[in-house]
Chains A and B, each alone.
Chain A
Amino acid sequence: MKDTDIKRLSYAHLLCIFSIILSISIPPFFLENFSILETHLTWLCICSIFVTAVNLVLYLVMKPNASSKRSSLSHKVPRFLKSCIYFLMSCFFFHVIFVLYGAPLIELVLETFLFAVILSTFTTIPCLCLLGPNTKAWLRVFSRNGVTSIWENSLQITTISSFVGTWLGALPIPLDWERPWQEVLVIEPRTLYMEAGAQPFDLHPLPRFFLTEVWPISCTLGATFGYVAGLIISPLWIYWNRKQLTYKNN
């Protein structure tokens, strides 16, 4: 029973990873000049849609929580609407968090919001699929040992690793990257003026396009890598620890 569950879980995760790979490889056939870095926002939308779709399909096909309830359509529609509201709320919540972390408030709203959307896609949507819009269940899963199945356990791991990926992805933001547009800069004048003790900003304006070009890229990539890593790690981890894992199956 358990081994088959783990197998199903890993297939599901492989599908999720596959959806991300597809979101990178399919668009170039339909869109001109598509690349992850240059047309980053487009990719974010596509990736978000793909991952959501795969999650929904998985939910419908696999029915991991195997709810025995006779779910009628009248029951499903408000549930679906509630889930949508939850998703939107989580997007706005993440947006607020990013602004608190220092993302620009007025400029680049779209970039920041799409970043929030992709992070919600990686974290909130699986939660919604698995647990439904049921905050008590969420609370239970994310408290220390409230996990009742391997699905919830893997959910915990992927969510955490997405967040960690995002967090780590923010680290390289202050770095000077050797990007093509940066080559127009000489390092020297800045060095020299600072040596003379002058304020760099009253001597010459540094290029303003750093933020516009780079802002969410490292974080979104971090989130994606974190998500993928979580997807890979969680079945393996559950497999290795299958002896110790006992779920209070009630």
Chain B
Amino acid sequence: MRLGSGTFAACCVAIEVLGVAVFLRGFFPVPIRSSSGTEHRAEPPAPEPSAGGSSNWTKLPPPLFGKVVIVLIDALRDDFVFGSKGVKFMPYLTYLVEKGASHSFVAEAKPPTVTMPRIKALMTGSLPGFVDVVRNLNSPELLEDNVLRQAKAAGKRIIFYGDETWVKLFPKHFVEYDGTTSFFVSDYTEVDNNVTRHLDKVLERGDWDVLILHYLGLDHIGHVFGPDSPLIGRKLSEMDGVLMKIHTSLLSKERGAQWPSVLVLCGDHGMSETGSHGASSVGEVSTPLVLISSAFERKTGDVRHPKHVQQTDLAATLAIGLGLPIPKNNIGSFLFPIVEGRPMREQLRFLHLNTVQLSRLLQENVPLYEKDPGFEQFKMSERLHGNWIKLYLEESYSEVLSNLGAKVLRQYLGALGNLHLSLSRQIAQFDAYSMAVGMVMVLEVLALLLLSIPGALCSKAELEVPLLSPLFSLLFYLMFLALSAVHVVVCTSAESSCYFCSMPWLMAGGVMMLISLLLCAVVSALTKMSVTVKLPSKTSAHSSSRWSELDLLILSGTVGHVLSLGASSFIEEEHQTWYFLINTLCLALCQEVYRNYFLGSDSGFQQAPPAEPGLDGAASVLPFRDHGPSRLECGRMHEAPSALEMPRGCEKWMALASPWVVLTCCRLLRSLNQTGVQWAHRPDLGHWLTSSDHKAELSVLAAFSLIVIFILVQRGCSPIMKVAMALGLVGVYCYRAAIGNVLLPWQQDNKAISKGIIEARFVYVFVLGILFTGTKDLLKSQVIATDFKTKPVGLWEIYSALVLLAALLFRPHNLPVLVFSLLIQTLMTKFIWKPLKHDAAEITIMHYWFGQAFFYFQGNSNNIATVDISAGFIGLDSYVEVPAILLTAFAAYAGPILWAGHLVNYLSSETSSSSALSHACFCYALIGSIPVCAYIILVTSLRYHLFIWSVFSPKLLYEGMRLFITAAVCIFFIVMDQTKLTKS
């Protein structure tokens, strides 16, 4: 089967998108959520079940405790309390744990073991997934149902002292708070003193219901000195003192109170052997959980081995303890020992409430919930419970009642355990099987692309994809059978839920077929390669010596960028990589331009001496760096020694200056938006412009930018389109003026700010109109074979429509980005690419690099927070999902898209070679998919990295999105290519 290399590349990228989608689905498990979502209707609590007769207990049971004090010690590992350190340094607590009225557990934290997700887990009872982060982009506030929200709704007074993460999560929940920052890790006394200093007063006052203390000192000591430092012991003693103080005060206050109080000691996460945390080693996930209250029975025996529970169990326990409804998304079961002393009816009631909540969550998240053992058990125990109530209401205090009660209790506990198991299975960590399937697909496609480079880049731009030969069909069937067998085995034995297994069989079979097909293609390409390499080994050796500095730079830049993705700092600062690369690229081009103009057709260029390749690759990447200065200086001093055949005068000077203009533009853009992490706080032009004091400057800049955009864009359009473009750009300014970003000269800021819907829609009309006309011109050029002129015009009109849309969606201070993008494109086309006659592959990669750099020039970064969501609301009354997503995506990726658009324009209008577009398409696909593949492998191997959720995962989403855009661009390419083919 013969395919054009463009079509082939587009197919490959499409398959790759599929693979990445499967991978992402496996990497980001969908969290379990109650369908009632974030709106908080007060649902009536589940009434007590009863068979026949009606129970009169439909309200929530009364609270068990009057006051709750939660002492959260950051990075408190279980052996600090229950181990030898605890005995040595925390005598009071050890006494309480062993002899006092307390219950102690080892609570298991789920990775990532860092503070914020752990606090969320403790308070909501659910495990925060990464998808949540994406969902509530710009608000650090915890929107899910949680214990503190319920407590506030019930009128409880909550006081908080400690890590300010809590204040960010619960901004309006505390009647009093004092946040300490965990910024300075070397400070481990002051942070804790800032918490403790409030303690005496607050304990004395007693006008609160919930007191939360979050101590950071231990974590800081762990980070700096490790878990074996003597400082740990001192800190633990200090904490023991704090606990003693709180406990004695609680006991003394309790006398007159209606309900007893409870003191909860817990850790958010543990500490590894080196003192850090974030991953899932035993030390990091094991935290102690001690509940101390006079309501509990005093223990007599020595309990040294506490029960293992989940960290999420605390939320339900607290809710029940305070007499609140259990948070909707809770997946934990409450700690039963705390109600052991209560009457049987209450115990059963609590268990019932918890199971009802869990089973409701299960019903909403699992389609086959009725077959779940936990759910069946729940139904049975509910029935039994009803019988028990009936018996109880008939007032038969007998042996039968307590026997039956014990049975119901056991049933309930079993149901709770099973429900918890099936729910946590849903959010089991990484779905390794789906990830593997996705990864295999992506890697096979990349291998195929890499192997077909020589074929695809030959002058015919066609390549043989051998899919039908009988040998490979045998391999294909074998492969397919083996994969299907693997699929069946994996899916039947899977412990945790797996997305790929839950797909319909037909679809999974299709994917398997695709994988084996790709494998066959790779194998056949390999064999073909080995055959061809053996025969003409001479030509390949010859071709490698013809690599220019530019090619070497492109190669080393690509490799370097891919390698840099392995380090979290390089991902955070990826913009620096791209700026660095395009700067070097500009200097390389500068050197080429100067050589072209001053040395002319230097004979030495053709017959490079054999000595040159002796320099190693890295060294010869950069010879231009030294040519630049010397050339420039001599260029300024001596008037053109050898530029006889070159254009002279103004044009020449423009050509010589153009690389420097491009470099200056890049430098200006760089200071427009500071992005990344390390230097993001530095003042930049963007912030200066957007501050309200500089509105006038911003207005002038925006107006000027729009005018320049018009000047740069109009040259390729037909007269009517020029008018449309001008009106559209005026509309953009009116829109910005209407929403109050910029000023109109005739009305000074006394105008009410509107949403600017009419103005924005006015612009949309022009965008669509220009797009439509452009498409019409393209079609016309196809029908009328002689009409060579309309096709470039049509393409340029489509491009200018995109520019207009970008001008509307960009924030006004970002309009210079658009201007410079157009300016650089014009300069490069006119003075660099055209005269220097680069081939399509080089031009494509240069466009790709500039596109990537402009993505960051816009102010984007690899952090999700920098996505400009406001672009999705322009011209819309309310949030409409599909257009909002499309507009946001376009606004975020405007840089790469516009550069790709310019590439199509340039190649179809400037080059004569018919295969340029398919070469470009192939290169674009290849250069776009290399980082994705490498990154997927990297992320898989780094999935327990401390920064996996904060740095690597957002980047993974960005990469997925970029691949998707690449696929769209490739399809656009082959559509353009097809029109060309049919025409000729």
- Contact assessment for B185 and A185 in the assembled complex, using a CB-CB cutoff below 8 Å: yes
Taking residues whose C-beta sits less than 8 angstroms from the other chain, chain A's interface range is: 35 or more
- Please provide the chain B residues from 118 to 146 with a CB less than 8 Å away from any CB of chain A in the complex: 133-134, 136-140
Asked if A144 meets B608 with Cβ closer than 8 Å, knowing A161-B619, A174-B572, A197-B139, the reply is: yes
**A241: chain B residues within 8 A (beta carbon):** 611, 614
| Nearest CB of chain A from residue B856's CB, rounded to whole Å | 12
A143 to B595, CA, bound (A): 9
A101 to B866, CA, bound (A): 24
- Please provide the chain A residues from 144 to 192 with a CB less than 8 Å away from any CB of chain B in the complex: 144-146, 157, 159-161, 163-164, 167-168, 170-171, 173-176, 183-192
| Nearest CB of chain A from residue B414's CB, rounded to whole Å | 36
Chain B, residues 713-729, CB within 8 Å of chain A (1/0): the string is: 00000000000000000
- Contact assessment for B630 and A164 in the assembled complex, using a CB-CB cutoff below 8 Å: no
User: Which of the residues A102, A189, A237 comes within 8 Å of B182, measured between beta carbons?
Assistant: A189
- Contact assessment for A189 and B864 in the assembled complex, using a CB-CB cutoff below 8 Å: no
Interface of A, secondary structure class, is helix
- Contact assessment for B681 and A206 in the assembled complex, using a CB-CB cutoff below 8 Å: yes
**B677: chain A residues within 8 A (beta carbon):** 190, 194, 200, 206
Say whether A94 faces chain B, with CB atoms less than 8 Å apart: yes
Asked if A123 meets B626 with Cβ closer than 8 Å, knowing A186-B183, A192-B950, A201-B680, the reply is: yes
- Contact assessment for A160 and B614 in the assembled complex, using a CB-CB cutoff below 8 Å: no
**A90: chain B residues within 8 A (beta carbon):** 629, 633
- Contact assessment for A206 and B609 in the assembled complex, using a CB-CB cutoff below 8 Å: no
**A198: chain B residues within 8 A (beta carbon):** 138, 140, 168, 865
User: Which of the residues B134, B625, B631, B946 comes within 8 Å of A163, measured between beta carbons?
Assistant: B625
A163 nearest CB neighbor, chain B only = B625
Say whether B186 faces chain A, with CB atoms less than 8 Å apart: yes
**A157: chain B residues within 8 A (beta carbon):** 615, 619
A146 to B625, CA, bound (A): 17
Say whether B599 faces chain A, with CB atoms less than 8 Å apart: yes
A-B contact count (CB 8 A): 203
| Nearest CB of chain A from residue B647's CB, rounded to whole Å | 21
B575 nearest CB neighbor, chain A only = A174
- Contact assessment for A195 and B182 in the assembled complex, using a CB-CB cutoff below 8 Å: no
Say whether B369 faces chain A, with CB atoms less than 8 Å apart: no
Say whether B567 faces chain A, with CB atoms less than 8 Å apart: yes
User: Which of the residues A135, A167, A194, A206 comes within 8 Å of B863, measured between beta carbons?
Assistant: A194
- Contact assessment for A160 and B626 in the assembled complex, using a CB-CB cutoff below 8 Å: yes
Say whether B247 faces chain A, with CB atoms less than 8 Å apart: no
User: Which of the residues A93, A102, A160, A184 comes within 8 Å of B579, measured between beta carbons?
Assistant: A102
A211 nearest CB neighbor, chain B only = B679
**B117: chain A residues within 8 A (beta carbon):** 195
Say whether B981 faces chain A, with CB atoms less than 8 Å apart: no
A173 to B587, CA, bound (A): 20
Say whether B583 faces chain A, with CB atoms less than 8 Å apart: yes
- Please provide the chain B residues from 566 to 615 with a CB less than 8 Å away from any CB of chain A in the complex: 567, 569-570, 572-573, 576-577, 579-580, 583-584, 587, 595, 598-599, 602, 604-605, 608-612, 614-615
**B614: chain A residues within 8 A (beta carbon):** 237, 241
- Contact assessment for A197 and B136 in the assembled complex, using a CB-CB cutoff below 8 Å: yes
- Please provide the chain B residues from 139 to 181 with a CB less than 8 Å away from any CB of chain A in the complex: 139-140, 165, 168-169, 181
- Please provide the chain A residues from 33 to 74 with a CB less than 8 Å away from any CB of chain B in the complex: none
| Nearest CB of chain A from residue B113's CB, rounded to whole Å | 11
Say whether A1 faces chain B, with CB atoms less than 8 Å apart: no
Say whether B664 faces chain A, with CB atoms less than 8 Å apart: yes
- Please provide the chain A residues from 118 to 150 with a CB less than 8 Å away from any CB of chain B in the complex: 123, 127, 135-136, 138-139, 142-146
A249 to B461, CA, bound (A): 47
| Nearest CB of chain A from residue B952's CB, rounded to whole Å | 11
A167 nearest CB neighbor, chain B only = B622
Say whether B623 faces chain A, with CB atoms less than 8 Å apart: yes
Say whether B383 faces chain A, with CB atoms less than 8 Å apart: no
Say whether A199 faces chain B, with CB atoms less than 8 Å apart: yes
User: Which of the residues B140, B183, B186, B638 comes within 8 Å of A204, measured between beta carbons?
Assistant: B183
Say whether B547 faces chain A, with CB atoms less than 8 Å apart: no
Say whether A100 faces chain B, with CB atoms less than 8 Å apart: yes
Say whether B678 faces chain A, with CB atoms less than 8 Å apart: yes
Say whether A210 faces chain B, with CB atoms less than 8 Å apart: yes
A94 to B625, CA, bound (A): 10
- Contact assessment for B569 and A176 in the assembled complex, using a CB-CB cutoff below 8 Å: yes
Chain B, residues 178-201, CB within 8 Å of chain A (1/0): the string is: 000111111000000000000000
Asked if A142 meets B623 with Cβ closer than 8 Å, knowing A200-B680, A205-B681, A244-B610, the reply is: yes
**A171: chain B residues within 8 A (beta carbon):** 560, 580
B118 nearest CB neighbor, chain A only = A192
Query: Which 7 residue pairs of A and B lie closest in terms of their CB atoms, listed nearest first?
Result: A174-B573, A196-B140, A135-B634, A201-B681, A192-B116, A163-B625, A144-B604
Q: Which residues of A contact B (CB under 8 A)?
A: 86, 89-90, 93-94, 97, 99-102, 105, 123, 127, 135-136, 138-139, 142-146, 157, 159-161, 163-164, 167-168, 170-171, 173-176, 183-201, 204-206, 208, 210-211, 237, 241, 244-245
Q: A145-B604, A186-B185, A192-B116 are in contact. List 19 more A-B contacts (CB 8 A).
A: A86-B633, A101-B579, A102-B576, A136-B641, A139-B598, A143-B604, A146-B604, A167-B584, A183-B186, A186-B220, A187-B947, A191-B947, A192-B165, A196-B133, A196-B139, A200-B677, A201-B680, A206-B680, A211-B679
21 A-B contacts (beta carbon < 8 Å): A86-B633, A123-B626, A135-B638, A138-B634, A146-B604, A157-B619, A171-B560, A174-B576, A183-B185, A183-B224, A186-B185, A186-B223, A188-B115, A188-B219, A193-B168, A194-B863, A196-B116, A197-B136, A199-B865, A201-B680, A204-B183
